Amino acid sequence: MTRRIAFAYDCKEDYLAAGFSPQEVMEFDGALTIAGIAAALRGLGHLVDRVGSGVELARRLAAGERWDLVFSIAEGVRGRSREAQVPALCELFDQPYVFSDPLTCALTLDKALAKRVVRDCGVPTAPFAVVSDPAQARTVSLPPPLFVKPVAEGSSKGVTARSLVHSSSELEEVCAGLLAQFRQPLLVESFLPGREVTVGVVGSGGHARVLGIMEVIFTSSAEAEAYTAVNKGEYEHRVQYKLLSGEPLSWQAETYALAAYRALGCRDAGRVDLRCDSAGVPNFLEINPLPGLDPDRSDLPILTRLSGRSYSWLLGEILHSAEERAGHSGRQNPAA
């Protein structure tokens, strides 16, 4: 069935032209990616209205416009609830939309809060602390090595080779620098030295299912201790991807990823990142309920491709999940 879809996004080039820095727009999609997603949605037979930012969507909703669905990859500009802005706007105007609700989008962007929820549900996660000012770094009692990153950023923003620290003095120095740079609390967690996997999930609630488990393998030219911003940005040379199945790690990863996805209330699609501890047990790192959808570079489309499915298939599954929730009445189902 043909749907009228409003496509919301934050275009990197638009924000750069408005004076934002490259670091501020690191999470945003470029014009080519946005055009590719719109073309894929049209290829599925839908009518796509490229609305743009959440502010423009607000103007048009307030003016009385409505669509069958809002498909949003808009990240928002500021605040730890920025990814919740478009979903909240849609709920305010009773406008059906794709992906998770405002609570889930806000909760999962704060990595420490998300870790507390999944830990309470029995999903392993590394011991951690939150540092809000440089003096707090001296009170962290976790033994090194430790890993440090901003608590509410995506796309490996703020994750560099310096994120791995081996002493209390180094922790204080790195925390001071990151706090000054990002002006938000930091997540400090015990370093997980094992294999790293990302798990793609589609669907909602009891219908959620894993579409694949992909190991992230660092090459000799990579920053080897983590999936850093540099490794992601230059993935063709620094990273290899391998689809996993039929081994204990893949079974554990599937179990923990689905448990985390459901516990956090994710809908339609998401990506769960896990890393193994010294005993080989996968631990929860973070979850992205608004996964990157660049057809070539984003992890979820790469994983989909490795599993033998097309990019169009992935978008079709996401839309199908959202349509099932919206139902025939055109209203969002609060119990989904």
Q: Which residue has the higher pLDDT, 218 or 90?
A: 90
Token digits of residue 155: 């796309």
Pairwise CA distance, residues 226 & 248, whole Å: 22
- Write out pLDDT tens, residues 224-262: 666 766 766 676 778 899 999 899 999 999 999 999 999
Residue boundaries of the structural domains of the chain: 4-97, 127-190, 193-326
pLDDT score of 218 more than 90: no
Q: How many CB atoms lie within 10 A of CB 328?
A: 6
Q: Do domains 4-97 and 127-190 have the same CATH topology?
A: no
Name the CATH topology of 193-326.
D-amino Acid Aminotransferase; Chain A, domain 1 (3.30.470)
- In angstroms, rounded to a whole number, what is the distance separating the alpha carbons of residues 218 and 164? 16
| pLDDT for position 336 | 38
Distance between CA atoms of residues 331 and 169, nearest Å? 54
Instruction: Name the CATH superfamily for 127-190.
Output: ATP-grasp fold, A domain (3.30.1490.20)
Q: What's the mean per-residue pLDDT of the chain?
A: 92
Over residues 304-330, the mean pLDDT reads 88
Alpha helices in the chain (DSSP H): 12-17, 31-43, 54-62, 85-92, 102-109, 111-120, 168-182, 229-233, 235-238, 248-263, 299-306, 311-326
- For residues 184-206, give the mean pLDDT: 96
pLDDT at 192: 96
Number of residues that this document lists for the chain: 336
Distance between CA atoms of 16 and 181, rounded to whole angstroms? 19
Residue 335 has pLDDT above 70, yes or no: no
With bands split at pLDDT 50, 70 and 90, how would you rate the model's confidence at 330?
very low
* CA distances in angstroms from 296 to 58, 134, 228, 235, listed in the order given: 30, 39, 18, 11
Q: What is the pTM of this model?
A: 0.91
Summarised one tens digit per residue, pLDDT across range 1-27 is 899 999 999 999 999 999 998 888 888
**Interacting residues of 50 by C-beta distance below 8 A, sequence separation 6+:** 7, 9, 34, 38
Q: For residues 267-278, give the mean pLDDT.
A: 97
Mean pLDDT value across residues 36-60: 97
Residue 134 token pair: 């440089």
How far is the C-alpha of 69 from the C-alpha of 185, rounded, in Å? Answer: 35
What's residue 229's pLDDT?
Answer: 63
Mean pLDDT along residues 162-182? 93
Query: What pLDDT score does 223 carry?
Result: 67
The pLDDT confidence band at residue 293, using thresholds 50, 70 and 90, is very high
- Pairing label, strands 196-202, 186-190: unpaired
pLDDT in tens, 115-126: 999 999 999 999
CATH topology of domain 4-97: Rossmann fold (3.40.50)
Q: Is the pLDDT score of 301 beyond 60? A: yes
Confidence of residue 212 (pLDDT cuts 50, 70, 90): very high
Cα separation, 250 vs 227, in Å, equals 19
* Structural contact between residues 73 and 314, judged by C-beta atoms closer than 8 angstroms: no
The percent of residues above 90 in pLDDT, for the chain, comes to 80
Contacts of residue 290, Cβ cutoff 8 Å, sequence gap at least 6 = 72, 73, 75, 83, 99, 100, 105, 270
